[in-house]
Amino acid sequence: MNQKIFVVEGRQFRTESDYACARRDKEIIDKLRAETDFDDRAALQKLAGELRGGRYKFMTLLGQDFRDEVEALLKKTGSADPKTKQKKRRPAEGHKKEAASDSGRKQPAKQAAAPEKDNSAMEEIVAQELRKRERRRKLILVACSAAAVCCLGYFAVYSYYDYRTQSSYQELSELKEKPVIAPVATPTPGPLYTLDGESKPREVLEEYQNLLLKNQKFIGWVKIEDTNIDYPVMQTTDNEYYLDHNMNQEYDRNGTIFMDKDCDVLKPSTNFILYGHHMRSGRMFGQLDKYEDESFYEKHPYISFDTIYEKGTYQVMYVFRSRVYKETEIVFKYYQFIDANGEQEFASAMEEMAAISLYDTGVTAQYGDRLLTLSTCDYQEKDGRFVVVAKKISEGLESEN
């Protein structure tokens, strides 16, 4: 469909709004032509000065055409013979009005040629600007499309990992309830200890034998009621590995809950330290910081943690924020408190944790008690950590040969 074109004073306008602006400019120009004696140099100079000073606001190129016309006439009158100007100064009134109203359409060829040339240059400038705007629009569109694809891709990958993680741990939970595929009589290679120091094999709890057969790095299971925390716990000699791998040895940004490499469930250590990511989805230890609220602690004072050899119930003692310190900083580092060398060192660690605890649980521990520490990231400061410490209050069932 052909676009409607509007014409005013030889100028073409494509939209009705531009046409309306051109009509307004024409009314101003016609009025100025009617009020000004174009043969009077003084009158032309006054009009030219007003046009240069911006007294009249034009919204279209008609204004520029009129300014060019006035300047051209002013220049011409300046070079004309004074006697000729005197003869032409007082034309008949009717002729003057006619000339004023028709001057835009009856310009001499030389005067019309200059505006035509200016119009072509202006149209080329406008066309170039439109092409630049179109290129910018296309670039922005491409950039936005690429960003949208990246976001959708990230969301798809994140959803896939989340779904796979959830399905995997659901399968592991069900595996605990299934009949034992093959009995496990001995643990992973290494020295074997019992509480009295005798060296002899210890039986793996029946419900965890299938999981141990699935992965020899499996070391226990941690659970907190009314949270997403209900996961197997792994342990290896590299504390970095399970930050981005799941129990099936697959890359997984959720990682896996794992025990510090220096802890020992056979000996056992004074303090079992478990680490897990603080996922925004709430996975892993993403809901551990619920203990920041004392009312949550009051309703959930116990944490279940079983090693592959024994069940355990732990009572929460301390909840605090800390961070990973530099080796040169002399300060209590909870993540280094694994085995107490004596009663004094144990008591000192308890005092340090009690001093920074967010609230007083009233629960204390004595030298010889078994501890459980859950640690996750805390984003209130750089390298921050949110920590929950509990003591074992129930041995559960333990089976030995």
**123: Cβ–Cβ under 8 A, 6 or more apart, which residues?**
none
Which pLDDT does position 181 carry in this prediction?
61
For residue 318, give the nearest of 344, 269, 355, 271 by alpha carbon. Answer: 355
For the chain, give every domain's residue range: 6-107, 178-394
Distance from C-alpha of 110 to C-alpha of 104, rounded to nearest angstrom: 13
Distance from C-alpha of 185 to C-alpha of 395, rounded to nearest angstrom: 21
Which pLDDT does position 259 carry in this prediction?
98
Burial environment of residue 177 by CB neighbours within 10 A (0 to 12, 13 to 18, 19 or more): exposed
**357: Cβ–Cβ under 8 A, 6 or more apart, which residues?**
317, 318, 319, 320
Which pLDDT does position 86 carry in this prediction?
47
Which CATH class, in words, describes the domain spanning 178-394?
A: mainly beta
Which pLDDT does position 150 carry in this prediction?
80
DSSP string, 97-149: HHHHHHTTTS--HHHHHHHHHHHHHHHHHHHHHHHHHHHHHHHHHHHHHHHHH
Which pLDDT does position 399 carry in this prediction?
39
Tokens of 69: 């016309």
| Low pLDDT (below 50) residues in the chain | 81-104, 106-113, 185-195, 397-401
Which pLDDT does position 241 carry in this prediction?
95
Residue 377 annotated in active site: yes
pLDDT digits 0-9 by tens, 247-271: 888 999 899 999 999 999 998 999 9
Which pLDDT does position 117 carry in this prediction?
56
For residues 39 and 103, is the Cβ–Cβ distance under 8 A? no
285: DSSP letter: T
